[in-house]
Structure 1
Amino acid sequence: MIESTLRTEDVPAAERFDYLRECLAKTVCPHELSCDSDAELRAEIRVIRLGAAVVWPVTVSAPLRLRRSMRMIREFDPEFYHLSLPLRGTLEIAQGDQEAAHGAYDMYVIDTSRPYDFRASAPPEHRLTPAPARPIADGRPSTAGREPDGAMYAVGLEVPKALVPLPVDRTARLLTRRLPGQEGSGPCWRAFSPGWCVRPPPSGPPTGPGWKQS
């Protein structure tokens, strides 16, 4: 396992947007990025490489839009299936003629070989509040002096399509659609995901229909 943590607060404010775009390109693939307020943008990505797969918990403090065009796909395509699990906030995704909005503890899959349009937004109570430095997952103190207590939290998983031997037409029907987090492997993914976050979501462990704690 190879792990690293990328933080926009490690670079000057004027460079954070370009730094985040570079981080996403290295972690997954190139995207076009846009943000409602560059000044408020704070993001942290924890990159965990597990063989050919990549897990990347992310925290974002401002509404963010990511688009992947056919031109970008022709230039570089890692040929991944991307599984997303939002832990707090909303993820809206459109791919092909399918689109959906997903809330906390929903799951969905997209294909990096097809164009898509993705929007991430924090809960309505989004605000930035002063917060003291505190230890994070890798044992080092956070460099952030202000913490997004209304941030969007999510966990992404990139899996090479070669490792998922399913017919293309079958996977195409699943793209962007909600996958039940309370069935199959969903509960396991939901249970471990908060622990992968750079800063675990303040809302606590998974709750809601179909979720049971032992």
Structure 2
Amino acid sequence: MLPEVTFHSSALPPADRFECWRTLMSETHAPMDLRTENAHEFWVRQRNISLGEVTVYPLECNPVTFRRTPKLVRNSDPEAYHLSLVKRGAGVVTMGRETHAHSAFDYHTSDTSRPFEIISARESFEIIGIEIPKALLPLPPRIAGQAIGQRISSRDGMGALLATFLDQVTRDSHTYQPADGPRLGGVLADLVGSLFAGVLDADRSLTPETHRRALTLRIMAFIRSNADDPRLDIPAIAAAHHISVSYLHRLFQREGGGVTAAGFLQRQRLSRARRDLADPLYQGLPVHCIAARRGFSHASAFSRAFRDAYGMPPAAFRRQSLGLQAGREPVAAPQGS
């Protein structure tokens, strides 16, 4: 499990909730002047997940105003960038003379070296926050700083890829080992750097290593989204990303964590087929139909791959998972499958 600290206001007396959370936020981000109209009945839930030097924190709370004043900047500056993926709610960010509104599916950004004010709308909100040291970002500060304050969408491109990564890490944080934290933090730094570079059209300032890693992550996300299509193969994956097959293989050799592109595609298909076989909803769907709906064109190839991966044929796995008797045949496929 990744190192994690959980804060829930319901564990404290009402009079102490806001002040305790204010202290936590000053440690998570930087000293700030936090204000709320709900101090006496304040509600907040936050998890701080450590990814080495990077912190990710899912947060839900009542409306709040965050201020980082010039005096606070002079007194303490951890030299970090902040991003918030807005899951629910809306607000306004003011930095100097610029004011930007943000809403669900946007990112808002700030810089601990620059004064700012963030006012959330008069409703509770939900975000996934990121605190990342400037030194970790694979962009020169003069470049990265130009992205701060700009409105960035999480609906497509690198914004969507970063959102997928954040959702998975926060949802599955208990499945990772502590040693995975710094590696995940490095991936996150590369994704944020690529996001900023895309916003500024400054891709030339990224290192080749970051380009390769970001491209590999985009390809993996593409494979996950399209694995059920039986037409998806290695040439199709390469063509969709405007690269050669040989370069695709080299990317996975460098950044694939020991798995080939073909192996990653097959792993996605097998894991989904395995899940369907263990699901009572699909009990009436023949094995070859499950193979087909998960992208396998040939039932025999699916059976061999499944047995190699899980140590038993798919039909035997289904019987074991569902407690069926040997020899029992499916009688009907579920409607809408």
TM-score norm. by structure 2 comes to 0.47
Tell me the amino acid that sits aligned with residue 176 of structure 1. Answer: G
* In structure 2, C-alpha distance between the alignment counterparts of 1:68 and 1:174, rounded to whole Å: 19
Tell me whether 66-75 or 48-57 shows the greater mean CA deviation: 66-75
Question: As a proportion of its length, which structure holds more strand?
Answer: 1
Say yes or no: does 1:120 pair with 2:120. yes
Structure 1 residue aligned with 2:44? 43
Say yes or no: does 1:9 pair with 2:6. no
Question: Map of 1:1-214 to 2, 5 A cutoff?
Answer: 1-60=2-61, 62-121=62-121, 123=123, 151-194=124-167, 196=170, 214=225
SS of corresponding position for 1:17: helix
Task: Tell me the matched-pair count.
Answer: 172
Structure 1 contact 57–155 (Cα < 8 Å) conserved: yes
| CA positional deviation for 1:83 | 1.0
SS of corresponding position for 1:185: helix
Q: RMSD of aligned C-alpha atoms?
A: 2.1
* In structure 2, C-alpha distance between the alignment counterparts of 1:182 and 1:43, rounded to whole Å: 26
Deviations 1:168-206 (A, max 9, x none): 443333221111323433222222444527xxxxxxxxx
In structure 2, do the counterparts of structure 1 residues 97 and 175 end up closer, same or farther at CA, with 3 Å as the change threshold? farther
Tell me the amino acid that sits aligned with residue 38 of structure 2. Answer: S
Structure 1 unaligned blocks of 5 or more: 124-150, 198-211
* In structure 2, C-alpha distance between the alignment counterparts of 1:189 and 1:8, rounded to whole Å: 29
Structure 2 residue aligned with 1:144? none
* In structure 1, C-alpha distance between the alignment counterparts of 2:165 and 2:139, rounded to whole Å: 25
Give the number of the structure whose alpha-carbon radius of gyration is greater: 2
Question: As a proportion of its length, which structure holds more helix?
Answer: 2
* In structure 2, C-alpha distance between the alignment counterparts of 1:99 and 1:178, rounded to whole Å: 10
Structure 2 unaligned blocks of 5 or more: 172-221, 226-337
Structure 2 residue aligned with 1:131? none
TM-score norm. by structure 1 comes to 0.73
Tell me the amino acid that sits aligned with residue 7 of structure 1. Answer: H
- Over 6 Å off, 4+ runs: none
